[in-house]
Amino acid sequence: MKIQLIEIAHARSGDKGDTGNVGVIARRPEYYSLLVKYLTVEKVKEHFRGICNGNVELYELPNLGALNFLLHKSLGGGGTISLKNDAQGKTLSSVMLRMELEIEEKHLNSEH
């Protein structure tokens, strides 16, 4: 079944120079394994094509039920150099949460 990431996760994003960071947090503890399984570096890199012009790095924080993505070369040079309206990557979280994922139904419980 197709779901949108926002149904199972929330997120906050920000900047470090020209790198955007997007923290993606499972809405329920049991959704964390879904994030790990479906929200891969490859999937995120593909989703952000045209926005992220560098590597994508992924770090896992199982204690918080969260993943941290670093999207390099995503902010038009970053900081004061950037000509982007969102030079600080504050809305990269929205871009992330809009992603559609094709997941196996058995992974979602009936309460979803």
Count the residues of the shown chain that bind other proteins, applying the rule CB under 8 A: 43
Minimum distance of other proteins from residue 111's CB (angstroms): 16
Nearer residue to other proteins within complex by CB, 62 or 104: 62
Measured over the CA atoms of residue 33, residue 58, residue 55 and residue 27, the dihedral's sign is positive
Using CA atoms, how far apart are residues 93 and 47, in angstroms rounded to an integer?
12
Nearer residue to other proteins within complex by CB, 90 or 104: 90
Cβ-count burial of 71 within 10 angstroms (0-12 exposed, 13-18 middle, 19+ buried)?
A: buried
Residues 11-70 that bind other proteins (CB under 8 A): 11-12, 14-18, 21, 23, 25, 27, 47-51, 59-66, 68, 70
Nearer residue to other proteins within complex by CB, 93 or 105: 93
C-alpha count within 13 angstroms, C-beta hemisphere, residue 52:
26
* Near other proteins by CB under 8 A: residue from 38, 40, 76, 103: 76
Using CA atoms, how far apart are residues 86 and 30, in angstroms rounded to an integer?
33
